[in-house]
Amino acid sequence: MAQMNKRPKHGPNARMMTEKPESIKKSLRFIWGYLKHRKGLLVLALIMVGLNTVAFLAGTNYLEPIIDNFLDPRTATGTVQQRLSGLASGMVTLGCIYSVTVVSSYLQNRFMVKVSQRTINEVRRDLFHHLQELPVRYFDSRSTGDVMSRFTNDVDTLNEALQNGLTTLFSSSITVTGILVLMVRRSFLLTFLAVCSVPLTLLATGRIMKISRRFFQEQQSCLGNVNAYIEEIMSGQKVVKTFCYEDRAREEFYRRNEALRRAAQLAQGYGGMMMPMSKNINNVIYAAVATVGGLMTIYGTMTVGSLVVFMQLVQNFGRPINELTQQYNTVVTALAGTERIASVMEEHLEDEEERKREALPEVIAEGGLYSLVNDGNGEFFWENGKERRRVCGEVRFADVTFGYTEKKRILNGISLWAKPGQKIAFVGSTGAGKTTIINLLTGFYQIDGGSITIDGIDISRIKNDDLRNAMSVVLQDTHLFTATIADNIRYARPAATDEEVVQAAKLASADPFIRRLPKGYDTVIEGDGGNLSQGQRQLLNIARAALADAPILILDEATSSVDTRTERHIERGLDALMEGRTTFVIAHRLSTVRNSKAILVMEQGQIIERGSHEDLLAQKGRYYQLYTGAAELD
């Protein structure tokens, strides 16, 4: 809900609250790293911008001799025939000049489209690649919406600035300078009158913007509240209808929608005043310039052609200034977005941490980091430059301490030993540290103290990918991709054959329901498996883990979100999957851990009880209280 109010703001109204970058140099260095590879196209585009602007000014300037030499009776010379011939020649020349603006404008657009789209393509590609290589802790500390905004709002604003903002800033700067030069050459007095409109316009619009900014901010806040409420009600329609909440939901929506209307009316009202006020000021100045210029032509201090050109220049004087103002906001917003993209790209990769470990003298002396090797016969081995040992699945935690932050310790002196093929279960309240142990075992986080070993090898000596390839994980929250069922199972091992996929589904007890689907294994899953039941999605998750065929299995609340009947069906698949594998189980339902070799009861980051189901019942401690219902898990 809170994220709704923090969404990036789009549209012209959002420009009123332009976000500025903390370091412009940082943003410019980042984007130049991409632009420098296509400097040729960029230079050509800027040349076309300059040519377009110069041709436009030259065409406007050329109107003066045409009018004075061929149209104004007071200054024109020669016969009517000569004047018509000269006028025709001048119009041809003028047409050639303006044809240059057409061609250069077209080429400028083509060049900048290539520059911007190729640059944005590379930025998106590198950003996606970089995010794939970031450690899990990066995503745990940020919302999905925040990460997605880098691909949407930030990249889009950068694209807009590259495609339009850059050329507009360059073009408008040249145009304003050129217009001022041409105006001063004709009349300093008239130029002074024309330029008076700039401070008057800025002063008037500045006052209005100061007032309207508050209302635009209120509008965005009300819009966020409305959108958040709509999302909340739409996603909870079953609850709304179950408790007959429709009337109250409508009343609350009407209230929020009315608040948005009031705020938007004030914001748009003040915002809508700026353009008419700016135009009226320009019209007054234009009339004053026309009046004074007309008097100057009457008294012979200015020709009609010179006045016509001057009025044309005055009319075009405000346009590049307005464009500069608009594109300035666009460019500044794009620089802020670029800075956020650059900050993501500066995050340390897991590969960087791995390379640091690989460069340690003791690691080099032992032959480097260990890799997981499959001999092709179903046997796995740990192998580095000096030794090769069989993967058995023995796991040891020795006095492990860990905290996600320095101020808060999550695990305190955790020690455990899982022999190959054993099933170890973790039981405890939410926040006791059960999932944290799994995060450490999979290498998502680095421990603060102690050691974790697999088959006698410290996991810090094992490559990240190989460490995780040695484990199959079945999570509580299943995530299925938009693809066929076979491809979703094959996600664990892309090179697996169709026969291996079917075998994994059979092992997970998923094959019967898959074959009942209209297209069997070729059925396309959409919407994260919305057309499947929770139990069916979990069976596919188990099949995926079975296909991975890893020696260590991790079940993190794998059956907590399904009913008891479905749970028994899933457990049949899990029992087959656990056969011969070292298994770690996190469960809230104690019935699912009764047959574990060892059950570890955790509270506040410590193991307070350990033993088999019968041993723990005999101790009559925390586990006994939980099992008999004398106490409940928080």
- For the stretch 199-216, pLDDT in tens is 777 777 777 777 776 777
Residue 111 maps to a domain: yes
Q: For the chain, first and last CA: distance in Å?
A: 25
Residue 43 maps to a domain: yes
Contacts of 492 (CB under 8 A, 6+ apart): 472, 544, 545, 547, 548
pLDDT of 9 reads 40
| CA of residue 265 relative to chain centroid, distance | 32
Lowest-confidence pick of 133-137, 434-438, 469-473, 611-615 = 133-137
pLDDT of 257 reads 92
Task: Return the residue matching tokens 């070729």.
Answer: 522
Residue 100 maps to a domain: yes
Burial environment of residue 26 by CB neighbours within 10 A (0 to 12, 13 to 18, 19 or more): middle
pLDDT of 400 reads 92
Q: What is the mean pLDDT of residues 433-458?
A: 89
pLDDT of 633 reads 59
Distance between CA 407 and CA 459 in Å, rounded? 25
pLDDT-derived band at 409 (thresholds 50, 70, 90) equals confident
Q: Given a cut of 60, is residue 584 above it in pLDDT? A: yes
Asked whether the beta carbons of 607 and 600 are under 8 A apart, the reply is: yes
Contacts of 331 (CB under 8 A, 6+ apart): 161, 165, 166, 169
pLDDT of 103 reads 93
Asked whether the beta carbons of 447 and 402 are under 8 A apart, the reply is: yes
Contacts of 456 (CB under 8 A, 6+ apart): 389, 394
Q: Per DSSP, what are the bridge partners of residue 555?
A: 474, 585
Lowest-confidence pick of 291-295, 330-334, 411-415, 567-571 = 567-571
Phi and psi at residue 160, in whole multiples of 5°? -65, -40
pLDDT per position as a tens digit, 52-109: 888 988 888 888 888 888 887 777 777 888 888 888 988 898 899 989 989 998 998 8
CA atoms within 13 A on the CB side of 500: 16
Q: Given a cut of 70, is residue 162 above it in pLDDT? A: yes
For strands 598-603 and 457-458, give the pairing.
Answer: unpaired
Q: What is the mean pLDDT of residues 15-26?
A: 59
pLDDT of 398 reads 92
pLDDT-derived band at 450 (thresholds 50, 70, 90) equals very high
Residue 291 maps to a domain: no
CATH code of the domain in which 338 resides = 1.20.1560.10
Q: Given a cut of 80, is residue 22 above it in pLDDT? A: no
Length of the chain equals 634
Residue 563 maps to a domain: no
Q: Per DSSP, what are the bridge partners of residue 380?
A: 374
Contacts of 82 (CB under 8 A, 6+ apart): none
pLDDT per position as a tens digit, 128-161: 888 888 888 788 777 676 777 777 778 888 888 8
Residue 66 maps to a domain: yes
**Residue 87, domain extent:** 21-187+302-345
Q: Given a cut of 50, is residue 13 above it in pLDDT? A: no
pLDDT of 486 reads 92
Across the chain, what does the average pLDDT equal?
A: 81
Task: Return the residue matching tokens 């796991």.
Answer: 395
Number of folded domains that form the chain: 1
Q: Per DSSP, what are the bridge partners of residue 453?
A: 396, 458
Asked whether the beta carbons of 608 and 433 are under 8 A apart, the reply is: no
Lowest-confidence pick of 70-84, 407-421, 536-550 = 70-84
Distance between CA 71 and CA 520 in Å, rounded? 83
For strands 606-611 and 598-603, give the pairing.
Answer: antiparallel
pLDDT of 401 reads 92
Residue 320 has a CB neighbour count (10 Å cut-off) of: 22
Q: Please compute Rg for the chain using Cα positions.
A: 36
Asked whether the beta carbons of 447 and 485 are under 8 A apart, the reply is: no
Sheet holding 371-374, edge to edge: 371-374, 380-383, 388-390
Residue 18: name the closest of 480, 329, 482, 435 by CA. Answer: 329
For strands 582-586 and 423-428, give the pairing.
Answer: parallel
H or E segment to which residue 109 belongs: helix 80-133
Residue 179 maps to a domain: yes
Residue 49 maps to a domain: yes
Token couple for 444:
């998502």
